[in-house]
């Protein structure tokens, strides 16, 4: 009799465990098949190239020396690829925020510009994507933005800009500095596209890294829907002149 009761308890426990697994799998499939959609385009410079007839920059067409502060139209965020078991989603999951502060300091010697200082802070607790379930999950997993609501970057090496910067053309530079995410700070080098004009400095860049580099574990739903190991941080910063 005791053996029969024990057997029944084992069967019931196995049934409950199986139901939980199936429910989690079902949620994962629904999320993966229904919620997966097209991704926003990767961030890129929005300013127009100067006309080819302008061989030299006029004082009004080129950004001046001084401090340039993050303004409206700026955005930063993440780009990751979700997966169901080992099957990758057809598009990236993308979350972005406009809650960014910071500035760049430009110095000028003759026609040469140098970025002598730069620092930025992003409120990652305000990141939003096309799915609220995903947004809520990264408050507790991955970024754990409830615990670590801020990501920062501090330039540690000056950047001498190429000559094309003086004529308002798009330029390509590398910014080396300290990136802090999830409470972990790392020295990184970020490739950046930039354009300087009389009224705006625009910076666009991205960097891809394993979650583990910043002490993070990829988010998951019931162990069935998860995120591939690499994450991309991307940004588009539009800065206005705030003085010398």
Residue 20 has pLDDT above 50, yes or no: no
Range 51-78 average pLDDT: 74
**CB atoms closer than 10 angstroms to residue 192:** 19
**What's the CATH number where 41 sits?**
2.40.128.110
Taken as a whole, the chain contains a residue count of 244
**CB atoms closer than 10 angstroms to residue 16:** 10
Give one word for 194, left, alpha or beta, with left for phi > 0 and alpha for psi -120 to 50: beta
Helices in 69-219 by DSSP H: which ranges? Answer: 132-137
DSSP states of 191-244: EEEEEE-SS-EEEEEEEEEEGGGGT----EETTTEEE-SEEEEEEEEEEEEEE-
Lowest-pLDDT range of 24-33, 60-69, 83-92:
24-33
Q: How many DSSP H helices and E strands does the chain contain?
A: 2, 13
In whole angstroms, give the CA distance from residue 177 to residue 188: 6
Residue 100: give the domain boundaries.
Answer: 36-46+57-243
Backbone torsions φ then ψ of 65, nearest 5 degrees: -70, 155
The answer as to whether 28 is a domain residue is: no
pLDDT at residue 59 in the model: 42
The answer as to whether 31 is a domain residue is: no
Backbone torsions φ then ψ of 212, nearest 5 degrees: -65, -20
The answer as to whether 11 is a domain residue is: no
In whole angstroms, give the CA distance from residue 183 to residue 224: 27
The answer as to whether 177 is a domain residue is: yes
pLDDT at residue 11 in the model: 42
Q: Write the CB contacts of 106 (distance below 8 Å, at least 6 apart in sequence).
A: 63, 64, 65, 66, 67, 68, 113, 114, 115, 116, 196, 201
The count of domains in the chain is 1
Lowest-pLDDT range of 49-53, 91-95, 130-134:
49-53
The answer as to whether 12 is a domain residue is: no
The answer as to whether 6 is a domain residue is: no
The answer as to whether 180 is a domain residue is: yes
Taking only the tens place, the pLDDT of each residue in 111-159 is 889 999 999 999 999 999 998 988 999 999 999 999 999 999 999 999 9
The answer as to whether 8 is a domain residue is: no
Residue 55 has pLDDT above 70, yes or no: no
Q: Write the CB contacts of 68 (distance below 8 Å, at least 6 apart in sequence).
A: 103, 104, 105, 106, 201, 239, 240, 241, 242
Confidence of residue 228 (pLDDT cuts 50, 70, 90): confident
pLDDT at residue 39 in the model: 77
Q: Write the CB contacts of 63 (distance below 8 Å, at least 6 apart in sequence).
A: 106, 113, 196, 197, 198, 200, 201, 241
């Amino acid at each position: 009799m005791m053996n029969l009761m024990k057997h029944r308890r084992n069967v019931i426990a196995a049934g409950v465990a199986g139901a939980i697994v199936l429910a989690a799998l079902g949620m994962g499939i629904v999320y993966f098949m229904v919620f997966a959609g097209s991704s926003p385009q990767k961030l890129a410079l929005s300013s127009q190239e100067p006309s080819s007839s302008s061989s030299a920059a006029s004082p009004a067409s080129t950004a001046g020396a001084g401090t340039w502060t993050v303004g409206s139209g700026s955005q930063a965020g993440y780009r990751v690829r979700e997966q169901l078991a080992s099957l990758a989603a057809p598009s990236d999951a993308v979350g972005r925020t406009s809650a960014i502060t910071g500035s760049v300091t430009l110095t000028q010697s003759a026609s040469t510009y140098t970025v002598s200082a730069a620092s930025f802070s992003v409120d990652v607790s305000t990141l939003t994507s096309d799915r609220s379930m995903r947004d809520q999950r990264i408050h507790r997993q991955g970024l754990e933005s409830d615990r670590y609501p801020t990501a920062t970057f501090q330039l540690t090496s000056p950047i001498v800009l190429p000559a094309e910067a003086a004529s308002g053309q798009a330029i390509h530079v590398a910014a080396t500095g300290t990136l802090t995410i999830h409470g972990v700070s790392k020295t990184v080098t970020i490739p950046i596209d930039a354009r300087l004009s009389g009224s705006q400095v625009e910076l666009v860049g991205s960097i891809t890294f394993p979650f583990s580099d910043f002490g993070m574990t990829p988010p998951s739903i019931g162990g069935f829907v998860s995120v591939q190991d690499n994450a991309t941080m991307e940004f588009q910063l539009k800065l206005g002149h705030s003085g010398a």
